[in-house]
Structure 1
Amino acid sequence: MFDITGPALRRGGNRVLGAFSFSVAPGEMLGVVGPNGTGKSTLLRAIAGLAPETVPVTREGRRLGRRDIGHLPQAFAVKSSISVLECVLLGRREELGLRIPAGLIDEAEGLLARLGLAPLADRPMSALSGGQQQRVLITQRLFRTPALMLLDEPTSALDLHHQLSALSALSGYVRQSGAAVIVAMHDLTLAARYCDRIMLVAGGECGAPDLPAKILTRETVSPLWRIDPEFLTCRAESLVIVPHAIPEQQA
């Protein structure tokens, strides 16, 4: 298990989240959901070691180092003219030297091909759309093969096809490698479909992770997101949440 324990997180003197402790299993994708401004990004940054507070992450008693944790922040953009292939190779910058091993290039090109990005390999990152950059950066994190991957809204700029492709790739990665993914998401239906468990962040606290159907209920979704949710089941037998506006007289 990946065990994560942290103190209260503060920003600008304000308490954002209370102390927290939870675990993620190898091969698991844990979704972090909650309304805007509840501290999801703050939580991921702290786990990634990018906050003043220390948040140790251990696996079977061994503390993970920065090399073991991959982090993709929200709305991150690359303005450099390096190529897509070069950007992916930088995911394993510790292995790069004056001459890049041919095997490493083959591995990066193979991953780009599997994720449908091979046609972009020679394109400069600065020439890509926001969605294309997001796909490349997810690929870069996968190429690094971290034990724990932290992703903040990784599908926010992607169209429907590429949302499914990216989340399928992440799901496949954790199951094949025994790594774990913690992903913050706004789309509750995608979270329910692709995440093994969900953790609700609201009211300054991290709730206990549980199955999507146990977390995403009318009792939690309606007051927190201020919607009238309709709950359906898709043909893949996962939860679908259709948001409806609350009538003004009830809001």
Structure 2
Amino acid sequence: MVFYNSENIKKEKFAEILQKINFCGHEYREGFYETQTSRLTLFCPKHKKLYETTFSNYKRSRVGMPCCAAERKSNALKSRVFSDSTREKMSQAALVRPTRKPLYPLNWRRCLEYREWEKQVRLNYGTCCVVTGKTSNIVLHHLQWGLKERYNPNNGIPLWAPIHKLFHDTFGYKKPTRSNFLFFLQTKKLYLFLKTFDMPISSQGQQECWQGSETRVYHPERVMKLHERLASGS
């Protein structure tokens, strides 16, 4: 047998919610109480937001709407003062994230191992792009993808961000390989891309020969080191 609320109960519940709406400073827009899951539409004049919920959820909440709850939380945190030791503990705890499944952190780039990997890659190559020699807008690129290679310092190089994007636009963002990057250095696409930025190139490039574009860079020793690493796969 299906149970239905009487009209008196509906009016009582509706009046109760209206009382809370007025107390919280919200405005009733739409909805009438049939059951606890009946839809209720409200407007918050303070934050200028329209919100749709249920009678049950609105009754259970302390302040009624998410915008008011966020403000309440913000005001509660404003007066908090943390000691240096507490901040250090919070920083270390933030680096150790829980996992959804083994070996896959929620954000693996925010873990301590990744930070150490970044430091070591910069020690190996410095802070300039291995292709262009630029020192600004630099990102770190994984030469080979894989869980075992993720934090291997020999598996990363600094790249100018536009070149990094050009590589992944060409070969995709999944499972980069050393051979793909070595081929990328020799492509006409990279040569034309560098040419649009009026970047100086070697005599080989000035002869309008795009083969061997890996020589059109600014630091021969750095590039030689890069090629040795790409060839050895270590």
In the superposition, the TM-score normalised over structure 2's length comes to 0.24
Q: Radius of gyration: which is bigger? A: 2
Higher RCO structure, 1 or 2 (CA under 8 Å, sep 6+): 1
- Structure with greater helix share of residues: 2
Structure with a larger share of its residues in strand: 1
